Amino acid sequence: MEHKRIRVGVMGAAKIARRSVVPALLQLADRFELVAAASRDEAKARQFADEFACQPVTGYDALLARNDIDAIYMPLPTGLHAEWVGKAIAAGKHVYVEKSFASTASETEALLGAAQARSVAVMEGYMFLYHRQQAVVVDWVEQGLIGELRHFFGSFGFPPLPADDFRYDEVTGGGALMDAAGYPLRAAFHLLGNELTVQGASLRRCPSTGTSLWGSAFLTHASGLGASIAFGFDNHYQCRYELWGSKGKLVAERAYTPGPAFAPRLTLETADDRREVAVEPDNHFVGAWLAFAQAIADPNHRSEHYRQTLVQSRALQAIRDLAGH
């Protein structure tokens, strides 16, 4: 890249951008430069830009037309990704996009094909993957502390959101399937491998809107491993996964959303011992930006993100199809 730092434009003034993602970006001033922030509402664009000392832009097309931006951070709802990820790729911009990457597997395939043709990086925003908690889990499993893996169970769900939350719009937000389900599903692929196949699924939908509210799915691996996930918008809060092995069990609490100052807890249990370990706090939003920079710089890392995104999207599509939508 011609410029030493990656010049970033933010497309959409979402809460997650303001609260977590952009502050993390600003911690990496040697790698990134925040140039501009766009909203379709001029006042929102100006407010966001004033808060983070960048340039306001009214309208997303105007942001993509700028030649002083190398990459886009896109916290728009899933239902808008096919259009705006596509336009960003066509403009030659690298794209770091909030999950889920697209509403359907066919949309994802088309977008990834375009990204490959333009040699641009795309990354789906599952930040928890870049928290040191996940590295500790992988290390313990590789050490054989729970023996051979037998099963993965992951759950992510929470009490009802405000009635006007965009996630309840099936077309725009995608419901619980496109939001909450992605976290334990992505964790299963991360820990068991991309060869998992969705074999069964169920979804409870809102009778009046058709939006997915809660559900579950079961996946299998050719080795005999299984993975089950559960998710929802109308649930007792859960944010965890469990790895069951031949000799023990490993539980990660607060697996997907540990704040930068929070020390997530891992519990290791065997027939002879039970111990809890608090993992040192880590800002996984910073880790995600570093992963994005690596994908931009290295074609091999870029290709790996293509593969991960496609596997994830096809699995979400399979859950929808098997649940009878």
> Could you give the residue numbers annotated as active site?
99
**3-state DSSP call for residue 57?**
strand
CA Rg value for the chain:
20
CA angle 33/182/19 to nearest 5° reads 35
| Structure token pair of residue 74 | 């896109």
If you ran DSSP here, which 8-state letter would residue 175 be given? H
- From residue 279, alpha-carbon distances to 24, 212, 266 in Å are 20, 34, 7
Query: What is the C-alpha separation between 171 and 156, in angstroms, rounded?
Result: 21
Give the pairing of strands 238-245 and 212-220.
Answer: unpaired
Are the beta carbons of 256 and 128 closer than 8 angstroms? yes
Are the beta carbons of 181 and 231 closer than 8 angstroms? yes
Are the beta carbons of 40 and 59 closer than 8 angstroms? yes
Query: What is the C-alpha separation between 30 and 50, in angstroms, rounded?
Result: 21
Question: Which uninterrupted H or E stretch holds 292?
Answer: helix 284-297
Residue 150: exposure state from Cβ atoms within 10 A (0-12, 13-18, ≥19): middle
Query: What is the C-alpha separation between 274 and 250, in angstroms, rounded?
Result: 10
Query: What is the C-alpha separation between 312 and 325, in angstroms, rounded?
Result: 18
E strand map for 26-75: 32-39, 55-58, 71-74
